[in-house]
Amino acid sequence: MISKEELGKNIINYLIEKDIKVDDLAQQIGASKQSIYRWMNGKPMTNIYYAKLCKLMEECNLISK
């Protein structure tokens, strides 16, 4: 299973793959765009957002189940 820190660093890959902006991702998962930027910089995230991001990234094959 991918760590929260690694998942946060993979956010940029998700944004590129989906051709979306941080605002769009934040809206998709119900987080603030500031939170997304913090996670991308290695700051901690709560379990609920971790689960939501894992699901999105698994659907795009950016991380394995």
pLDDT at 65 over 80: no
- φ and ψ at residue 10, rounded to 5 degrees: -80, -10
User: pTM for the complete prediction?
Assistant: 0.89
Rounded mean pLDDT of the chain?
Answer: 93
Give me the architecture of the 4-59 domain, per CATH: Orthogonal Bundle (1.10)
Q: Which residue has the higher pLDDT, 41 or 1?
A: 41
Q: In this structure, how many other beta carbons lie within 10 angstroms of the beta carbon of residue 26?
A: 16
Q: Which of 10, 4, 9, 56 is nearest to 30 (CA)?
A: 56
Tell me what the mean pLDDT of segment 3-8 comes to. Answer: 93
Read off the pLDDT band of 1 (50, 70, 90): confident
Summarised one tens digit per residue, pLDDT across range 36-62 is 999 999 999 999 999 999 999 998 888
